[in-house]
Amino acid sequence: MTDPLTVLRALRRPRLLIRAARFGQVEYRRERDLTRLLHGTRAPAPDQALSSLMEQEERLEETRRTGDAAYSISRHIELLIAMMAEARLIPAKPGFTSDA
């Protein structure tokens, strides 16, 4: 299995989406937002949350790329915000910097 942080660092998305997500991190509240995004009652550990968020974001990115009318830019930004925030909660492995 590939390390989620490595995958996140390699992620390439439109600059405007990334900028909006970085800006939105100020308002991110883990319990409130993560529970809503993952449709659960409690927020899982950051590494588990990041994996789940990345799966959802990957599906949404495919929807965006195909031009499907079901694409939601606000949902995409919410997922990117949560991914960035959760990545920061995962302890860095030796040799890595937290640039997410």
Q: What is the pLDDT of residues 52-97, one digit of tens each?
A: 999 999 999 999 999 999 999 999 999 999 999 998 888 766 655 5
Q: Which amino acid is at 89?
A: L
Band the pLDDT of 11: cuts 50, 70, 90: confident
Cα–Cα distances in angstroms (integers) from residue 31 to residues 14, 65, 86, 89, 91, in the given order:
27, 30, 11, 13, 19
Asked if pLDDT for residue 48 goes beyond 70, the answer is: yes
The pLDDT of residue 1 is 44
* Residues comprising the chain, all counted: 100
What are 71's two structure tokens? 């694409």
pLDDT of residue 92: 67
Higher pLDDT, 20 or 40: 20
For the chain, what is the mean pLDDT?
Answer: 85
